[in-house]
Each structure stands twice: as C-alpha cells, then as structure tokens.
Amino acid sequence: MPRGIAPCVGLAASLLVSGLSPAKAEPLPTGFVRLRELAPAIAQDIRYATPFNFTGTVVPGYDHAGCVLTRAAAEALIRAEKRLARQGYGLKLFDCYRPVRAVAAFNDWVKRPGGQDLGRIFHPGIARGDLVAKGYIAANSSHSRGSTIDVGLLRAGEAALPTPTEAGPCDGSVSTRPRESNLDLGTSFDCFSERSALGHPGITAEARRNRAILAAAMSAEGFRGYSKEWWHFTLAKEPFPKTSFDFVIE
C-alpha cells in the first residue's frame, strides 16, 4: 500500500457526501477515466475523501469521492466485477488513483504530533510515529501511477452500506470493526495490522475463503496482489509504470 488535511465545507462537502461530480471538473489527463462513467454500478466508498480514514480528516487532493483510474486498469476492473458476478459477488472500491500530494500529506501526518488521528480504529497497538518504519506508510505509492486499486468484496445485490463514522479496532471481531460488507474479510480496509496480510493464520476460515475469491478474480484479470494487504492490487501491465501524477480528483 505503500500510503494538511482539512475538512471540506459548503458545496464541496455536499458533493463528497452525494458522490456527484463538480459541474466544472477539469479534464483528466490522457489515458485516465472516471470509473462511474464506465461502470456506475460498481460500489464505491472512496475513504480519503471522507474523515473516516486513519488521519481522521479529508486528505489533500480528494476534492470528490470518485474512483479515477487509467483506462486499462478500469477495463480490467470491470472484467473482474463481471467474473465475480457469475459467482454471486461484487466489488467495493476504497481507493483508486491517489495524488502525490496525498502521499506527502500522509508522511507529514506521521511526523506531526497531535491533531486528528483515528489510530484506535486503524492502527491499534502501533504508534503513529512507527507506521513508516513498519512499512505501512511509504514515501511513494503505486496508487499515484493510476493503476492500483484498494478493493473489497460484497455479496451480489447487497444493499449499499454508508461510510462508517465510528467503530472498534479494525482487526477486532467482525461485529465491532468498521462495517464495509456483509462478508468477513478478516480486517477492515486500511487496517495497519499483521492480520491484514493475505495469508495470516489468525483469521477465520470464512475470511480466508473470501480473500481468496477476491484475489483469484483480480489475478485472472491481470492484477498483482500485495501480500501484506488483502485489499491492494496493481495492474501488472500498467500504462504508466514510472510516472506518478498529482492532479486533484474532482
């Protein structure tokens, strides 16, 4: 996964809540698309456009709660969704393209004492200042290249769940951690915990099975997983393997 910050107010905040695009959004760089324009039915909960993330506040660069990806990654993701639909499942997106300024804000947040921090939920048992050393936050992120996705698994037809506002530790019991799906995946999204590792032995058999279903569908459509985070996938043949972008998500 390798991953300032001020709440949006007024019109911008209402757009985040509704998921609607601002009327005058700037055109995307060549090769990028807004996923809702291609696949509006795929569930989205773009977490860094809300205060419910490990920083406790909206992250710079996320002016709109919508998934932006390279066209190649978006088309592969749509194929994965169709593959899962045949098995009775669907996808739920938590993060897609991530501006460089957001990655910089994460690193600044780690170094800056005080302020907002939802550590009791997202990094229980790990001090904020240790998140870089332990590999949970990095100076650069593959998300900034536009072909990396953080995604969870749903049952087909599952009613949309709102962004959580409160919860227990992300690696706690399924009944107390952030509720993102009716399926058990072992931890919630963005959980800085050893239990987030794909093959961690401490999760339930159901969680292992659900992680395997998600990983198999993503792999079949050309994505590589990340062993320490069950939700993290990068398109193997990404179109911009050496280019990081910093345009704002509008």
pTM of the predicted structure, to 2 decimals = 0.90
What tens digit of pLDDT does each residue of 59-89 get?
999 999 999 999 999 999 999 999 999 999 9
Q: Where do the structural domains in the chain lie, given as residue ranges?
A: 10-235
Does 22 or 161 have the greater pLDDT score? Answer: 161
Q: What is the mean pLDDT of residues 133-157?
A: 96
Residue positions annotated with a catalytic role: 229
Report residue 3's pLDDT band, with 50, 70 and 90 as the boundaries. low
**pLDDT tens sequence across 220-238:** 999 999 999 999 999 999 9
Which of the residue ranges 15-24, 155-164, 197-206 would you say has the lowest mean pLDDT? Answer: 15-24
pLDDT over threshold 70, residue 161: yes
Tell me the CATH number for domain 10-235: 3.30.1380.10
Angstrom distances, CA of residue 82 to CA of 152, 159, 239: 15, 18, 22
Measured CA distances, 202 to 168, 184, 211 (Å): 18, 13, 13
| Res 18: pLDDT | 40
Task: Tell me which of 15-24, 26-35, 121-130, 168-177 is least confident.
Answer: 15-24
Q: How far apart are CA 43 and CA 93, in angstroms?
A: 6
d(CA 76, CA 69): 11
For residue 98, pLDDT over 70 is answered with: yes
H or E, element range at 217: helix 205-220
Report the chain's mean pLDDT, rounded to a whole number: 91
Q: Which of 180, 168, 58 is nearest to 124 (CA)?
A: 168
CB atoms within 10 A of CB 61: 23
The answer on pLDDT for 96 being more than 70 is yes
In tens, the pLDDT along 100-117 reads 999 999 999 999 888 889
Give per-residue pLDDT as tens, 17-56.
Answer: 344 444 567 899 999 999 999 999 999 999 999 999 999 9
pLDDT of 184 over the 50 cut:
yes
Helix 71-85 vs helix 205-220: crossing angle, to nearest 10: 130
Mean pLDDT of 177-191: 98
Q: Which helix (H) or strand (E) holds 81?
A: helix 71-85
Q: Report the pLDDT value the prediction gives residue 115, as an integer from 0 to 100.
A: 83
User: Looking at residue 38, what is its pLDDT?
Assistant: 98
At position 125, the amino acid (one-letter code) is: G
